[in-house]
Amino acid sequence: MFTHMTESTRSYGKKARAEAEEATRQRIVEATVRLHEEIGPRETTISAIAREAGVQRLTVYRHFPDETAVFQACTSYWLAQNPPPDPRRRSAPGGVDRVREAVADFYDYYARTQRMWTVSFRDVERVPALQGPMAEFAGFIRSVADDLVARLGAEPAGANAAATIRHALHFLTWKELEEQGLANDRKVELIGGWLHGVETLDAAPEEMR
């Protein structure tokens, strides 16, 4: 009986320690997310993370060997809480209307998450640990744009359309239009105008381009 109790107690103790470790790790990740939004990745040092999480620097390093590891965990957690839209999963037909819907979805997303993207794009060149996650997001945007271009069908599907769609989906495009005071629906109308302009340009004789 006592042997059984000892084994049960030991098992419970291991489980409690594992849960405490996971809770500490989660606290560190959430502290990193808060600091990224408040002061930006460039100022989010390991010391700052430790203070925000209420732990020692060594505790941070015990869970994450370096800044890259903690930034990757932060990015994964934040994206899980704020997943970007993925028009590739829709069964809607292609064409310019599909592009409009995709742009509208992304612009609504950027409006909700603009603080994190603003500081991330601001700091990415100076924070090597941020460059991997940002490159992954850029790759995701390219794949979405490529899918939209492929589904244009008989409508403008050349290099001009591809460049326009990639530019339209970029956060910094949304931000620049936002700073000019355009509401999201007006931004989407403008993008639609760009695409129709591309269609007109591509249909024009070579000497008129």
pLDDT score for 16: 76
Examine the domain organization and report whether 60 and 161 are in the same domain: no
Q: Write the CA distances from 84 to 66, 70, 171, 173, 208, integer angstroms.
A: 27, 21, 12, 16, 40
Examine the domain organization and report whether 202 and 105 are in the same domain: yes
**Residue 157 in this model has a pLDDT that exceeds 50:** yes
**Residue 154 in this model has a pLDDT that exceeds 60:** no
Q: How many CB atoms lie within 10 A of CB 65?
A: 10
Domain ranges, residue 16: 2-80
Give the domain-ending residue among 80, 109, 127. 80
Model confidence, pTM? 0.85
- The number of folded domains in the chain is 2
**Residue 72 in this model has a pLDDT that exceeds 90:** yes
Examine the domain organization and report whether 54 and 102 are in the same domain: no
Examine the domain organization and report whether 89 and 61 are in the same domain: no
Examine the domain organization and report whether 56 and 96 are in the same domain: no
Residue 71 belongs to a domain with what CATH number? 1.10.357.10
Higher pLDDT, 189 or 157: 189
**Residue 205 in this model has a pLDDT that exceeds 70:** no
Examine the domain organization and report whether 155 and 110 are in the same domain: yes
Give the domain-ending residue among 63, 80, 97. 80
pLDDT score for 100: 92
Cα distance between residue 59 and residue 176, in whole Å: 41
Examine the domain organization and report whether 165 and 108 are in the same domain: yes
- Least confident range from 53-57, 149-153, 185-189: namely 149-153
**Residue 153 in this model has a pLDDT that exceeds 70:** no
For residue range 87-112, what is the model confidence (pLDDT) as tens digits? 877 766 678 888 999 999 999 999 99
Examine the domain organization and report whether 107 and 174 are in the same domain: yes
Give the domain-ending residue among 27, 54, 80. 80
pLDDT score for 208: 45
Entry field: residues in the chain: 209
* 167-171: average pLDDT: 97
